[in-house]
Chains A and B, each alone.
Chain A
């Protein structure tokens, strides 16, 4: 692994803070069954729109469900969804990019054209189209979004791969008679890893916003499952009734996580250089 120097600068420390925030929220999601004070889906219409209290620290929503518990449980799909998108998009994007950069010729030409075409569609729009075709749900939304991100990752990694494979050490391996697949797997991709990692981290932020948007539109995670995107959406009517808490808290968490990932992506790019 590339040595990651410990950050000494103020900018570096914000990176550490960002990493801490992300890890903390992931932990909260994992430990939801133990941390959440209530069942997130327990409806109690008598308790609707409660303010902060000892039993409901953050109050309740229109159906009287405990907001804190829903936010805690919501961390699961809200974080796992984007994670799946990123993993899928990165694996596909890197494979396509490296193959097309390495082989060149017609394969590269075809891949480049396909990427250009996909670029013409905004990611969310493409995902909405796919969801409309295959039905709403987290899985479909994740796959659709992943595909729509592939071109961004592929284009970046392809140009980096082209630069890297022009390095004499790759030429030396070729002259040594090492096979192309082995060179890509053992040398090319590992050397691109810092860049790929930084890009994935940034992509996570986008994926989070896009998935939330899709859930907001009712095409992703389905109610009553607790999810921050869904909560922003389902809390909407309550805002008009003077109870903005649900949308506000969920929206704020989305903003915090996205900001943390963006910071982290920038810092990772620097640390691993």
Chain B
């Protein structure tokens, strides 16, 4: 079966700086792929290329087998928006603080679907139900919501366009532990109920393990290891993956032990 989203030899340079050197991966329809890396690994630039915020210097992105062209017109961007959506890391700055939650969701529907006001209102409540927001929250503005609730809004907003692929850019990293678990469960539920595919961009290996089946590990702009998530974490092959794996605190963990090279930062 054709992968829903495929990256082939993506490269992005800014002036003389290579942000992404060479990235390839394929996301199966209905699948979930983790892009793992730390700051400077190029994972965020990769995400920005996937949603069309950056144009690759080299390589191409295939959506459902078709190469994605640079979206110059609003119509093309809308078309792309129906395919790929994104949830950002920071739940505080990713919503317009002056807009009510209902109007935020309504706006997306108005852009994408020829629906009447009543149809849109019905769909807004449906979306709110899906992510566990109540009516009172819908009428309020982001300022009245907690970080976890805002992230639910961001997920609902991304789902409003009914995309095939949802890119989660460190989408649970800023949340409290107890809220993070709720949102991770929500993401699992959504994938069970719809046929959506995820790309999870994260530095958090445990989160990657929890909601992805496949993963690629990026280091300094390139993919250094890829394969089933469980296999990568249980038997890491690349030296960097091993170091990353050993850096995660847990029972019996000794800080700094993962330090192989004496710690040149």
- A contacts B directly in the complex (CB < 8 Å)? yes
Give how many A residues have a beta carbon under 8 Å from the other chain's beta carbons. 19
A174 to B88, alpha carbons, bound, how many Å?
13
Q: How far is the CA of A2 from the CA of B98 in the complex (A)?
A: 7
Q: Report Cα–Cα, A175/B52, bound state, in Å.
A: 8
- In the complex, the answer to whether A187 meets B96 with C-beta atoms within 8 Å is yes
Complex Cα spacing A52 to B23, Å: 87
The reply to whether the CB of A171 lies closer than 8 angstroms to some CB of chain B is yes
Known: A177-B112, A180-B74, A191-B97. A172 touches B88 (CB 8 A): yes
Complex: how many Å from CA A37 to CA B215?
85
Task: Tally A-B pairs: CB < 8 A.
Answer: 62
Is the Cβ of A176 less than 8 Å from the Cβ of B111? yes
Q: Which residues of A contact B94 (CB under 8 A)?
A: 167-169, 171-172
**In the complex, how many residues of chain B place their beta carbon closer than 8 angstroms to a beta carbon of chain A?**
30
Q: Which of A163-183 contact B (CB under 8 A)?
A: 167-169, 171-180
Cα-based distance from A179 to B108 in the complex (angstroms): 11
CB-defined contacts of B90 to chain A, threshold 8 Å: 168
User: In residues 91-132 of chain A, which contact B (Cβ within 8 Å)?
Assistant: none
B86: chain A residues at CB < 8 Å are 172, 175
Known: A171-B53, A172-B88. A177 touches B96 (CB 8 A): no
Do residues B93 and A167 form an inter-chain contact, with CB atoms below 8 A?
yes
A169 touching B161 in the complex, CB below 8 Å, given contacts A175-B81, A179-B74, A180-B74: no
Q: Is A224 interfacial (CB 8 A cutoff)?
A: no
Contact between B157 and A172 (Cβ–Cβ < 8 Å)? yes
Q: Tell me which of A167, A169, A171, A190 has the highest count of chain B C-beta atoms within 10 A of its own C-beta.
A: A169
> Which residues of B come within 8 Å of A, CB atoms?
51-53, 74, 77-82, 84-86, 88-90, 93-99, 107-108, 111-112, 154, 157, 161
- Which residues of A approach B to under 8 Å, CB–CB? 1-2, 167-169, 171-180, 186-187, 190-191
